[in-house]
C-alpha cells in the first residue's frame, strides 16, 4: 500500500472532493504498531486519536487513529473487545499521542497498555467507572446529577535541585482568558520546565453530537472554538459530504474558501496587536484592533455574523453573496493591505519589539516534526506544511488546487518568526480574497444532503491555527452516532512547553500569545 509500503494494511480512498483521505482497518494490535512505526519512519505525523463505543451495533469498542502522510491522511481503525478494550501506547513513536490517549480513556474507557496513565479531562467530578461517551452512560441532560464534586490532586512532574522552586499559575487567571493551569519549575526567573494541566473548559461537545441530526451537528461544530468557526464548520461539512457521497457546487466551495481566508486574516490581525501589547507597544494593539474591527464589521454586513457562524453547512453555504459585497471585499483588501504593510515595516524596524521577539520562545524544525506540529507555528520553524498548497505527492482539495496558494515559512522558530509568518500570511490571504471575489462562478450555492445510515467520513481543513479534523459516523437511524472534532492545539500545547524552557517567566505571556492556542478546542 503506497501510503506506507512497509505495512500490509489495505486502504481505500474516501469518496468526495475534500482533502485526500484513505481508510483502513488494522487486523491486530501488532498491525497498528507496525503502521505507526512505518508512518513515523516515513516522516509522517499523528493527526488525531479518538474512540467510539460500538456495542449497540454488535461490536465492542473502536480506536480511530489518523496519520498525516505525504499523500494525505490515513484513517486507521482497530476493533477492541467489549470486556477489555486496550491498545498499545503510540506515544513511544509519536509523543503527541500522550494527551489524546488519556482523553480517549477518560471519555470512552479504552486504555493503553503503557505510557502516561494520568487523567486528562477528569478533575474529580466524575465517578471512576463513568465514561460519558459510552452508550450506557448517564444521558447528556443528566450529566453531573448526583455526582460528588471532589477535585483531586494532579501528579505534576517534580523538578528538584538547589535553588529550584515552582510557580503555579491558574487555572483561574487575572485576565479574562480561558482556564488552564501552568506549573513552572524555575531557578530565579529562568524556566527549567513547564507542565500544563487543561480540561477545565470541558463542555461535553462530543456527547451533544450523539443523536443530533445533520443540521444540529453543523451548528454545534461551528461552536467548538469560536475563533475557528469556519474551519470547523467546513471540516464537519466535508466529513458529512464524504459519508453521504455529496458533491458540493463550485461556487459554494469558493465561498467557503473566501470565508476561511477572512477568518484567517481576522485572527492574525488580533494576534499581531496583542503581541505588540505584550511587548509594551500599545500603539500596535490599538491599530490592529481598529483594523480587525473594520474587518469583522464587513463580515457582519456580508454574512450577517461577525464570525460567520452558521454560514458553512453540509451541501454548501447557508446563503449566497450579492455582487456588491464582492466589490466591498476587494476594496477592503486594498485598504487593509496598505495599513498592514505600514505596520509591518514599523514592527520590523522597532528595536524594542525586535529585542523582545528575537530568540524568544524558540523551537526548531526537528522538534516541530517530532511533536506532529502543524499550521502557522510549524511553518515558523521551517516546516513546509499547508493543506491549501501543493507539495510533493499531495494535491490540495478544491478550490485550493487551482488557487495557487503560496505557503509562508520562516526558519527562525522564535516569536519573531511567528510574527513574520502572520504578516506574510495576511498578505497572501488578501491576494486570495481578491482572486476569489473577482472570479466567482455562477452556480448553485447548496445541494441537499441525505444522511446515509452507518456511513462515516473524515474532513480536514487548514484553519488559521493549523490542521482542523472532524470525524463523523452515522447511526442506523441516520442521525449522528459519533462526531470527533480535533483542534491543532492538541499538538501545539506541548510545543509551548518546550518553547519557554531557558527563557524567563515574564516572557511567558509573549510566547504564549505567539502561539495563541485554543483551550476550548482541546477540552471537548
Q: What is the pLDDT of residues 238-283, one digit of tens each?
A: 999 999 999 999 999 999 999 999 999 999 999 999 999 999 999 9
| Residue from 13, 89, 2, 87 nearest 38 by CA | 2
* 69 and 197 share one domain: no
* 272 and 342 share one domain: yes
* 183 and 252 share one domain: no
Residue keyed to cell 452507518: 454
Nearest 5°: the CA angle 484, 488, 494 is: 115
* 101 and 192 share one domain: no
- Work out the number of other CB atoms within 10 angstroms of the CB of residue 106: 20
Give the global pTM.
0.96
Contact 202, 434 (CB under 8 A): no
pLDDT of 516 above 60: yes
Of the candidates 422, 448, 474, which is a domain's last residue?
448
The burial of 434, by beta-carbon neighbours within 10 Å (0-12 exposed, 13-18 middle, 19 or more buried), is given as middle
Which cell numbers hold the place of 13? 480512498
| Residue from 5, 29, 233, 209 nearest 107 by CA | 209
Helices 415-438 & 250-278, crossing angle to 10 degrees? 150
Inside any domain, residue 165? yes
Q: Which strand ranges, in their side-by-side order, compose the sheet holding 61-69?
A: 11-13, 21-26, 72-80, 61-69, 45-53
Determine the Cα–Cα distance for residues 257 and 250; give it in Å rounded to an integer.
11
* 300 and 431 share one domain: yes
Q: pLDDT tens digits, residue range 220-238?
A: 999 999 999 999 999 999 9
* Average pLDDT, integer, range 416-420: 98
Inside any domain, residue 471? no
Determine the Cα–Cα distance for residues 490 and 328; give it in Å rounded to an integer.
37
pLDDT value of residue 148: 74
Helices 250-278 & 229-244, crossing angle to 10 degrees? 150
pLDDT value of residue 500: 97
CATH code of the domain in which 193 resides: 3.30.390
Residues 6+ apart with CB under 8 A from 100: 46, 48, 49, 50, 490
What average pLDDT does the chain have?
Answer: 94
Contact 112, 89 (CB under 8 A): yes
Provide the domain limits for residue 269: 247-448
Length of the chain: 524
Determine the Cα–Cα distance for residues 332 and 338; give it in Å rounded to an integer.
10
Determine the Cα–Cα distance for residues 138 and 204; give it in Å rounded to an integer.
12
* 416 and 509 share one domain: no
Determine the Cα–Cα distance for residues 32 and 411; give it in Å rounded to an integer.
34
* 113 and 18 share one domain: yes
The burial of 43, by beta-carbon neighbours within 10 Å (0-12 exposed, 13-18 middle, 19 or more buried), is given as exposed
What's the helix, strand, coil split of the chain in %, to 5? 40, 15, 40
Inside any domain, residue 217? no
Contact 256, 236 (CB under 8 A): no
Of the candidates 121, 148, 179, which is a domain's last residue?
121
Query: Quick one: pLDDT band at residue 140, thresholds 50, 70, 90?
Result: very low
Residues 6+ apart with CB under 8 A from 216: 480
Number of domains in the chain: 3
Determine the Cα–Cα distance for residues 474 and 76; give it in Å rounded to an integer.
18
Determine the Cα–Cα distance for residues 357 and 511; give it in Å rounded to an integer.
9
pLDDT value of residue 2: 45
Contact 35, 29 (CB under 8 A): no
Which cell numbers hold the place of 106? 477518560
With a pLDDT cut of 90, the percent of the chain lying above it is: 87
* Average pLDDT, integer, range 386-405: 93
For 54-134, where are the E strands, in sequence order?
61-69, 72-80, 86-87, 111-112
pLDDT of 448 above 70: yes
Which cell numbers hold the place of 302? 456580508
With a pLDDT cut of 70, the percent of the chain lying above it is: 97
Determine the Cα–Cα distance for residues 328 and 489; give it in Å rounded to an integer.
33
* 422 and 498 share one domain: no
Pairing of β 72-80 and β 21-26 = parallel
Inside any domain, residue 152? no
* Average pLDDT, integer, range 348-377: 97
For 113-221, where are the E strands, in sequence order?
164-169, 181-187, 190-197
Inside any domain, residue 92? yes
pLDDT of 175 above 80: no
* 284 and 171 share one domain: no
Q: Which residues of 48-67 are buried (b: 16+ CB within 10 A; e: fewer)?
A: bbbbbbbeeeeeebbbbbbb
CATH code of the domain in which 370 resides: 1.10.645.10
Q: How many CA atoms lie within 13 A of 298 on its CB side?
A: 24
Query: Quick one: pLDDT band at residue 524, thresholds 50, 70, 90?
Result: confident
Determine the Cα–Cα distance for residues 335 and 319; give it in Å rounded to an integer.
26
Residue keyed to cell 488580533: 270
Inside any domain, residue 474? no
Inside any domain, residue 338? yes
* 305 and 426 share one domain: yes
Q: How many CA atoms lie within 13 A of 85 on its CB side?
A: 24
pLDDT of 187 above 70: yes
* 497 and 363 share one domain: no
Contact 126, 142 (CB under 8 A): no
Inside any domain, residue 135? no
Q: What is the DSSP letter of 215?
A: H
* 24 and 117 share one domain: yes
Amino acid at each position: 500500500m503506497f501510503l506506507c509500503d512497509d505495512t500490509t494494511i489495505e486502504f481505500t480512498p474516501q469518496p468526495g472532493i475534500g482533502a485526500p483521505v484513505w481508510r483502513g482497518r488494522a487486523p491486530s494490535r501488532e498491525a497498528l504498531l507496525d503502521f505507526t512505526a512505518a508512518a513515523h519512519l516515513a516522516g509522517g505525523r499523528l493527526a488525531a486519536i479518538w474512540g467510539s463505543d460500538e456495542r449497540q451495533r454488535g461490536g465492542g469498542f473502536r480506536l480511530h487513529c489518523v496519520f498525516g502522510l505525504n499523500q494525505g491522511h490515513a484513517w486507521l481503525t482497530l476493533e477492541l473487545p467489549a470486556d477489555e478494550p486496550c491498545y498499545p501506547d503510540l506515544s513511544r513513536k509519536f509523543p503527541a499521542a500522550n494527551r489524546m490517549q488519556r482523553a480517549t480513556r477518560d471519555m470512552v474507557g479504552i486504555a493503553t497498555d503503557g505510557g502516561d496513565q494520568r487523567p486528562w479531562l477528569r478533575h474529580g467530578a466524575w465517578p471512576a467507572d463513568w465514561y460519558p461517551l459510552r452508550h450506557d452512560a448517564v444521558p447528556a441532560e443528566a450529566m453531573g446529577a448526583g455526582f460528588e464534586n471532589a477535585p483531586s490532586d494532579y501528579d505534576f512532574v517534580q523538578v528538584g535541585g538547589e535553588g529550584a522552586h515552582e510557580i503555579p499559575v491558574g487555572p483561574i487567571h487575572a485576565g479574562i482568558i480561558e482556564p488552564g493551569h501552568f506549573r513552572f519549575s524555575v531557578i530565579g526567573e529562568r524556566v527549567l520546565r513547564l507542565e500544563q494541566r487543561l480540561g477545565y473548559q470541558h463542555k461535553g461537545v462530543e456527547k451533544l453530537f450523539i443523536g443530533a441530526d445533520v443540521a444540529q451537528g453543523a451548528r454545534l461544530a461551528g461552536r467548538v472554538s469560536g475563533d475557528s468557526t469556519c474551519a470547523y464548520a467546513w471540516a464537519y461539512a466535508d466529513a458529512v459530504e464524504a459519508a453521504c457521497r455529496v458533491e458540493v457546487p463550485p461556487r459554494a466551495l469558493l465561498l467557503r474558501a473566501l470565508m476561511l481566508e477572512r477568518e484567517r486574516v481576522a485572527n492574525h490581525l488580533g494576534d499581531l496587536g496583542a503581541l505588540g501589547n505584550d511587548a509594551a507597544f500599545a500603539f500596535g494593539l490599538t491599530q490592529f484592533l481598529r483594523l480587525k474591527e473594520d474587518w469583522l464589521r464587513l463580515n457582519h454586513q456580508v454574512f450577517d455574523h461577525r464570525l460567520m457562524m452558521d454560514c458553512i453547512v453540509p451541501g454548501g453555504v447557508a446563503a449566497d453573496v450579492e455582487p456588491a459585497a464582492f466589490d466591498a471585499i476587494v476594496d477592503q483588501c486594498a485598504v487593509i493591505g496598505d495599513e498592514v504593510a505600514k505596520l509591518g515595516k514599523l514592527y520590523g524596524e522597532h528595536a524594542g519589539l525586535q529585542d523582545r521577539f528575537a530568540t524568544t520562545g524558540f523551537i526548531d524544525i526537528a522538534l516541530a516534526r517530532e511533536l506532529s506540529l502543524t499550521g502557522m507555528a510549524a511553518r515558523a520553524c521551517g516546516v513546509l506544511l499547508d493543506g491549501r498548497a501543493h507539495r510533493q505527492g499531495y494535491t490540495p482539495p478544491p478550490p485550493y488546487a487551482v488557487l495557487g496558494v503560496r505557503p509562508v515559512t520562516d526558519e527562525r522558530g522564535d516569536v519573531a518568526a511567528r510574527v513574520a509568518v502572520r504578516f506574510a500570511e495576511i498578505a497572501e490571504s488578501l491576494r486570495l480574497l481578491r482572486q476569489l471575489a473577482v472570479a466567482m462562478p455562477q452556480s448553485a450555492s447548496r445541494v441537499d444532503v441525505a444522511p446515509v445510515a452507518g456511513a462515516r467520513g473524515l474532513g480536514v481543513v487548514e484553519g488559521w491555527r493549523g490542521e482542523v479534523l472532524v470525524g463523523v459516523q452515522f447511526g442506523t437511524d441516520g442521525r449522528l452516532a459519533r462526531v470527533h472534532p480535533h483542534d491543532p492545539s492538541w499538538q501545539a500545547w506541548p510545543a509551548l512547553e518546550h518553547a519557554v524552557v531557558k527563557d524567563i517567566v515574564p516572557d511567558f505571556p509573549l510566547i504564549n500569545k505567539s502561539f495563541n492556542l485554543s483551550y476550548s478546542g482541546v477540552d471537548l
